[in-house]
Amino acid sequence: MAGAAPSDRALSLLATVNNHGDLAVKLSSLKQAKDILLSIHPSVAAELFPYLIELQSSPETLVRLSLIEVVEEIGLKAMEESSVLMSVLLEFLKDSDSIVARQSIVSGTNLFVSVLEEMTLQFHRRGKVEIWLEELWSWMAKFKDAVFTIALEPGSVGTKLLALKFLETYVLLFTSDANGSEKPVVEDTTASKKAFNVSWLVGGHPILDPYILMSEANRTVGILLNLLRSAGSLPGCVTIAIVNCLAAIARKRLVHYNTILSALLDFDPNFEIVKGHHAASIQYSLRTAFLGFLRCTNPVIVESRDRLLRALRAMNAGDAADQVIRQVEKMLRNAERVSRDARLGKDDQQSSQLPVSGDLLKRRLTPLDTEEASNNHEMPSKRIRYGPDSYSTLPVQMNASGRDTTSVNGVSSEPSCIRW
């Protein structure tokens, strides 16, 4: 078979996947077939896609799982020909094995984002959206509806958790990001690629209506809030996922922050009757969400600091809250110092290019030397006056350029919080 055409070799390998009795041989053959399909021209590979689709009826879970990953890779690299494969994703959302359904959501989410970005970029590059991409987006719309149904209807808990994560992704995609790029970078390079921002669509798009999509995102936030209110009838791990999704949306899309914060602060389920006995974990997820908010330095979130502190102290997490505040304030002071040093260095560089006499240099340095000596004499008293207990009373200065990578009680710093 070494001298056969690539398409013939791929066809033979797909036949092996279908007919061989050894699972290891099946998986190896499928991987080899995928590599060939990705290496040949997409139009030639597309002729073999029907044989690939036949594998969705394989009785082996690992074969079906691998098939989803193959569909994802082909969909990302040969998007123009991949519409015919999307039925596999939708079919596997209903698979009897939840691991297959979960992988279908993960792979489908990746494709959803990529197709959305391509829809936007193609219109910006060419002034139109080609028919094949319209068809692919229609499959993505069907995928979205199917995943929303999984999130809202009874079923496998593990699959529902990933469906809820998709709802979070949907809100983030279609809620304007004030810190994101307002216009896409039309050059098709990895280095220049920016995260999708719904504001890219403002001004007109033949398929995507930004106002309808933003309205659907708002409705999705409402769905998550309604699920939170009905937490008493949900498994504990689902409630935790809902809290985590809402907290992520609140941090990353501040237009929803106050609404979500109020809902989380008011959320007080009867922990005695929580399904799955996850009461402590639910409370910890709320604690984690509130500590995460404290780490953010955007004025919208800083204004709610007192409410967050009261809630955390009611959870016996006051010490953790104070520690987070101290770390954020230290981070801001360090960032301010770095910025100041950079400005001073720039000023020194500019002044070094001018002729300066010895007397003038001495006059310039003397006040600084005097101040430094004064600061050295005052150092012991400053250590006494500014001990650890005093930091919590210091005002937070807004500076979004710093970062803090430490971790407090399991809550790690998030770049999205610092950059707000």
Q: What is the pLDDT of residues 45-89, one digit of tens each?
A: 999 999 999 999 999 999 999 999 999 999 999 999 999 999 999
Topology of the domain comprising 6-229: Leucine-rich Repeat Variant (1.25.10)
φ, ψ (nearest 5 deg) of residue 184: -75, 155
Does the pLDDT of residue 179 top 60, yes or no?
Answer: yes
Q: Which tops the pLDDT comparison, 44 or 414?
A: 44
Weakest mean pLDDT among 116-120, 231-235, 270-274: 270-274
Point out the least confidently predicted range of 17-26, 89-98, 268-277, 345-354. Answer: 268-277
Compute the distance between CA of residue 52 and CA of residue 67 in angstroms, rounded to an integer: 8
CA–CA dist 232, 216 (Å, integer): 26
3-state secondary structure of 71: helix
Residue 53 near residue 84, CB atoms below 8 Å: yes
Q: Retrieve residue 308's tokens.
A: 């967050």
pLDDT surpassing 50 at residue 104? yes
Cα–Cα distance between 247 and 238 in angstroms, integer? 14
Among 392, 398, 383, 420, which Cα is nearest to 324's? 392
- What's the chain's average pLDDT? 80
Per-residue model confidence (pLDDT) at position 3: 60
Residue 365 Cα to chain centre, angstroms: 50
Least confident of 57-61, 88-92, 330-334: 330-334
Percent over 70 (pLDDT), the chain:
76
Q: CA 311 to CA 261: how far, in whole Å?
A: 11
- Sign, CA dihedral 169-171-175-177, equals negative
Lowest mean pLDDT among 44-53, 191-200, 263-272, 408-417: 408-417
CA dihedral 297, 303, 304, 307 (to 10 degrees): 130
Which residue bears the tokens 């409370």? 283
pLDDT at 200: 80
More confident residue, 119 or 401: 119
User: Which is higher by pLDDT, 390 or 75?
Assistant: 75
Per-residue pLDDT tens digits for 224-268: 999 999 888 889 899 999 999 999 999 999 999 999 999 999 997
Per-residue pLDDT, averaged over 26-30, amounts to 95
Range with the poorest average pLDDT among 175-189, 246-260, 286-300: 175-189
Q: What's the pTM?
A: 0.76
SS3 string of the chain? CCCCCHHHHHHHHHHHHHHCCCHHHHHHHHHHHHHHHHHCCHHHHHCCHHHHHHHHHCCCHHHHHHHHHHHHHHHHHCHHHCHHHHHHHHHHCCCCCHHHHHHHHHHHHHHHHHHHHHHHHHHHHHCCCCHHHHHHHHHHHHHHHHHHHHHHCCCCHHHHHHHHHHHHHHHHHCCCCCCCCCCCCCCCCCCCCCCCCHHHHCCCCCCCCHHHHHHHHHHHHHHHHHHHHCHHHCEHHHHHHHHHHHHHHHHHCHHHHHHHHHHHHHCCCCCCCCECCCHHHHHHHHHHHHHHHHHCCCHHHHCCHHHHHHHHHHCCCHHHHHHHHHHHHHHHHHHHHHHHHHHHHHHHHHHHCCCCCHHHHHHHHHHHHHHHHHHHHHHHHHHHHCCHHHHHHCCCCCCCCCCCCCEECCEECCHHHHHC
Please choose, from the candidates 95, 96, 120, the residue with its C-alpha nearest in 3D space to the C-alpha of residue 108.
Answer: 95
User: What is the predicted pLDDT for the residue at 123?
Assistant: 86
Predicted local distance difference test score (pLDDT) of residue 348: 65
The better pLDDT of the pair 285, 268 is held by: 285
Domain boundaries, the chain: 6-229
How far apart are the C-alpha atoms of 394 and 375, rounded to whole Å?
Answer: 20
* pLDDT confidence of residue 2: 54
270: left (phi over 0), alpha (psi -120 to 50) or beta: beta
Reported as a pLDDT band with limits 50, 70 and 90, residue 322 is confident
* Cβ atoms 187, 138 nearer than 8 A: no
**Residue that is written with structure tokens 């990705």 in the block:** 38
pLDDT of 277: 58
Q: Which of 96-105, 197-206, 237-246, 371-380 has the lowest mean pLDDT?
A: 371-380
**pLDDT given at position 214:** 94
pLDDT of 420 reads 33
DSSP 392: G
Q: What pLDDT sits at residue 243?
A: 96
- When pLDDT is cut at 50, 70 and 90, the band that residue 350 belongs to is low
The C-alpha torsion from 28 through 34 and 37 to 42, rounded to 10°, is: 170
Tokens of residue 346, six digits: 């720039």
> Regarding predicted confidence, which is higher, 1 or 78?
78
Predicted local confidence at residue 324, as pLDDT: 86
